[in-house]
Structure 1
Amino acid sequence: MRPITGREELELFSRLPYALNGELPDDLATGRRRPEWMWVALRGDRLLARAAWWSRPGSGTPLVLDVLDLDDDTPRPASLDAGERLLRTAMAATLAPGSPPPEYSRLVPPDWRGDAPSRQAVENRLAVLERTGARPLVERLRLEWRPESPLPGTTGRLAFRPVVDAGELVSLMALVLDGTLDAHGRADLTRMSPREAATRHYEDELAQYTSSRDWWRIATLPDGEPVGFVLPAHNGYNAIIAYIAVLPAHRGNGHVDDLLAEGTRVLAERNVPRVRASTDLGNVPMAEAFRRAGYVAFGGEINMTWS
């Protein structure tokens, strides 16, 4: 059990199939990954398991564990044992002692529960995580809009203006946590105030995007009262709807459709090849809004946490 030595061992690391394999070379080149964060468990030349963390370019701290794979041809008990030993060894050597490990993220096919091999593969990996003390947090739906689809229409009821003050945006973010269906937001509220949670979300994620903040929009009624906001962005891989929300006082009026239409339009005008988004599987209203806007589900994501 050891980290890879560098780019020259990417072929070894990539012997186990996964959706992120194609991104690994560029991630190493841009500093999103480091060889010392990419671990393998070997028996001779056979790759039994692997694990890797991701972070933002230039960061010295792993942000998310997004690769954990097993050799599915190895009998299940031995495979799980190898995965657990690798993950425990890698965490001890890679992560700062005394703090919870970063969240785990697993991309899954949209029908993974209905396909026996996919289901077994996913459940094996989650079992390894659970052995180390992780617990399920949420499953998310991943969606995509493509330019060949028509732009979603608007009702014309709302006006849109750019976000000119980060403080105003953070205040709105704190307000929308009231009654949120987002599992990450609900988890944050068990540990901190809405303002603290909003500030953390802004500083740790939204402020880190290198795409223009001129794309961000606050929606208002004709009299200027804020109704919600939508934050189109680019995460270094794809154009995305980074955050979309309606204020509690204005929910249930269909405003999310206009917000999503505006965010999609902003990105479509940049001639992006696709716009991606995600929402919790349990957030049915938001998932339906994406579908009305022409977004198609192409996969899922399972998040687990040690906190």
Structure 2
Amino acid sequence: MPTSSPTAFDPNQLVIRPLAGPGELDLFLRLSYSLDHELADDLATGRRVPEWMWVALDGDRLLGRIAWWTNAAGGEPQALDFFDLSPELSPEERAAIGLRLLETATAAVVPAGTRRPEFGRFLPADWREVPETRALLESVFGVLVATGARPLVERLRLEWRPGTPVPEPKGRLEFRPVRDREDLVALMTPVMEGTLDAHGQADLASGLSAREAAEQHYDEEFAHYSSPREWWRVAQLPGTGEPVGFVVPARNNYHHTIAYIGVLPAHRGHGYIDDILAEGTRVLAAVDVPRIRAATDLGNVPMAAAFARAGYDAFEHAINYVWDAPGVAGP
């Protein structure tokens, strides 16, 4: 006679709801993810609100959780960055509960008729080789796909630590601070036209011009950095002052980072990326940061190689899924 598993539950008893308030954070933390330590501060600063943090409960047992994030208090949800399902569940149970949780919460959080925010997840670099990790993640990815999402890109997450040598300037380039928004956007535009970055390519495929994509990137990300704009650098040829590229060293809400780096198309093939990345690293190293984070697409082999030459170690992967159409698919 088949017997029910110890994790069996009555689907009719499943409760899916948002957190009642910050006091329920401990409930949300009964499942785990590498960003758990950021949640309390995110709630305190308004980057998250309890109404965006949902749980699936069987009695007092947490079977799933989901949450959205924004970069500044009062904004619309910008990213879906928490989606966890209990490892005690069978794959079939994870698929069913995950779908109900995702669709119920999305209908309440994401404004009707708008595109769902992108899903992002940090992953161990060996996630495909560890059966338990792969099974859990593929359950989550399967739910996303069932609602109309598609994988956009897998990325390398990189880190530079103090004590790592920073190359001295070679003298091939001079560097000056970015003057203003137009100064940087004008340089970002030609870089965007030939980008290998999957997010940039998606922006262009959506119908945005390279200029519009550059402006959107600046306004949605760079404009919110609280770190000094004087850190941002334009690389130029000595004597003529002709721009070669740029780098944006910054501090986001969580880490110091090389937020963006680019070489103008006319100057590619000369190894300038190494000089520009070294300058961005020097800027941050000079203010004694505890670490520098960066990321690049797994398929962008030249950029990954440049980070490796500069002493950045790949410590993790990240994956992004996107929905191309607005609305809730629903089961």
User: TM (normalized to structure 1)?
Assistant: 0.98
2:28 maps to which of 6, 13, 21: 13
Structure 1 partner of 2:329: none
| Secondary structure class of the residue paired with 2:261 | strand
1:233/1:240 contact within 8 Å kept: yes
1:152/1:294 contact within 8 Å kept: no
Unpaired stretches in structure 1, ≥5 consecutive residues: none
Structure 1 partner of 2:249: 232
Structure 2 partner of 1:126: 141
Structure 2 partner of 1:305: 322
Offset of residue 152 of structure 1? 3.1
Question: 115-124 or 276-285, which moves further after superposition?
Answer: 115-124
Structure 2 partner of 1:259: 276
Q: Any idea what the Cα deviations from partners look like across 1:9-33, whole Å, max 9, x if unmatched?
A: 1111011110011111111111110
Q: Any idea what the Cα deviations from partners look like across 1:82-128, whole Å, max 9, x if unmatched?
A: 01100100000011110110000010011111111121121111111
CA RMSD, Structure 1 to Structure 2 (Å) = 0.9
Structure 2 partner of 1:247: 264
Structure 1 partner of 2:214: 198
Distance 1:47 1:153 in 2: 53
Distance 2:133 2:302 in 1: 28
Distance 1:275 1:174 in 2: 26
**Structure 2 residue 150 is matched with structure 1 residue 114:** no
Structure 1 residue runs of 4 or more that deviate by more than 4 Å after TM superposition:
none
Distance 2:152 2:109 in 1: 23
1:3 maps to which of 18, 29, 35: 18
**Structure 2 residue 106 is matched with structure 1 residue 91:** yes
1:64-213 matches, within 5 Å, as: 64-190=79-205, 191-213=207-229
Offset of residue 153 of structure 1? 3.6
Structure 1 partner of 2:9: none
Q: Any idea what the Cα deviations from partners look like across 1:5-59, whole Å, max 9, x if unmatched?
A: 1121111101111001111111111111000000000010111111000101213
Offset of residue 80 of structure 1? 1.2
Distance 2:274 2:215 in 1: 26
| Secondary structure class of the residue paired with 1:150 | coil
Structure 2 letter corresponding to 1:215 = W
| Secondary structure class of the residue paired with 2:316 | strand
- How many residues align? The count is 307
The percentage of counterpart residues that share the same residue type is 59
Distance 2:204 2:75 in 1: 27
Structure 2 letter corresponding to 1:281 = L
Unpaired stretches in structure 2, ≥5 consecutive residues: 1-15, 325-331
Q: Any idea what the Cα deviations from partners look like across 1:221-259, whole Å, max 9, x if unmatched?
A: 011000000000000211000000000011111000011
1:219/1:226 contact within 8 Å kept: yes
| Secondary structure class of the residue paired with 1:51 | strand
Higher Cα radius of gyration: 2
User: TM (normalized to structure 2)?
Assistant: 0.91
Structure 1 letter corresponding to 2:70 = S
C-alpha change, 1:154 and 1:124, in structure 2 (3 Å) is: farther
**Structure 2 residue 66 is matched with structure 1 residue 58:** no
